[in-house]
């Protein structure tokens, strides 16, 4: 399944002002750098969790019908299914609401059996905890602050990606409750 970012978040979960207060930075000379660290910390956290934090628009492209008609979304948590377009040998059309619906889990879609002849399916979704920073859980916002501050304070330091010191103390504990449990 191909994933395409259509629209990134309108705001970051942690503002520049919050980060500067956390870092005790009062000048504006490094605002651009701190802002870049905030974006990078959010993106890294989203990768760690396999979830997006703030509302973002994504397109999912399927070229095979999912097993059992159920599609586990790789972009979570789901806020809405905005549009679904089906391409078959006879053309393309938008799907009706009864042809695609939420499954038993909030991150699963059910596709109607009538769609089995598809060549390609494009599903546009909006995902994230919400549209504002306040809707992102506080521990995740704190994890962004910790990581951005760590990068700011250790600029230029060659840190091993998986070695000690690569992540600030407490980071893993903050994000652990939001990680997905994967069955063995």
Please state the pTM of the whole predicted model: 0.83
**Per-position pLDDT tens, the chain of length 184:** 899 999 999 999 999 999 999 999 999 999 999 999 999 999 999 999 999 999 999 999 988 777 777 788 888 899 988 888 888 778 888 877 777 766 556 677 877 776 666 678 898 999 999 999 999 999 999 999 999 999 998 886 655 555 545 788 899 999 999 987 654 4
**Pseudo-torsion of CA 152, 156, 159, 164, nearest 10°?**
-40
pLDDT on residue 132: 96
- Domain limits, the chain: 2-53+131-178, 56-127
Token pair of 127, please? Answer: 């995902």
Give the model's pLDDT for residue 108. 77
CA distance linking residue 29 with residue 110, whole number of Å: 51
For the domain covering 2-53+131-178, report its CATH number: 1.10.3230.30
Q: Is the dihedral of CA 2, 104, 48, 147 positive or negative?
A: positive
């Amino acid at each position: 399944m191909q994933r395409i970012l259509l629209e990134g978040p309108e705001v970051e979960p942690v503002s520049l002002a919050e980060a500067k207060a956390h870092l005790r930075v009062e000048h504006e000379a490094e605002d651009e750098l701190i802002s870049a660290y905030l974006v990078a910390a959010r993106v890294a956290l989203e990768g760690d969790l396999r979830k997006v934090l703030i509302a973002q628009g994504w397109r999912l492209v399927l070229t095979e019908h999912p097993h059992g008609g159920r599609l586990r979304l790789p972009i979570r948590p789901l806020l809405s299914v905005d549009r679904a377009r089906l391409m078959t040998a006879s053309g393309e059309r938008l799907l009706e609401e009864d042809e695609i619906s939420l499954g038993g889990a909030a991150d699963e879609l059910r596709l109607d059996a009538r769609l089995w002849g598809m060549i390609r399916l494009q599903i546009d979704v909006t995902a994230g905890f919400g549209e504002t920073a306040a809707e992102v859980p506080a521990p995740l916002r704190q994890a962004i602050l910790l990581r951005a501050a760590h990068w700011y304070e250790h600029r230029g330091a060659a840190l091993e990606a998986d070695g000690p010191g690569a992540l600030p103390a407490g980071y893993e504990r903050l994000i652990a409750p939001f990680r997905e449990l994967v069955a063995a």
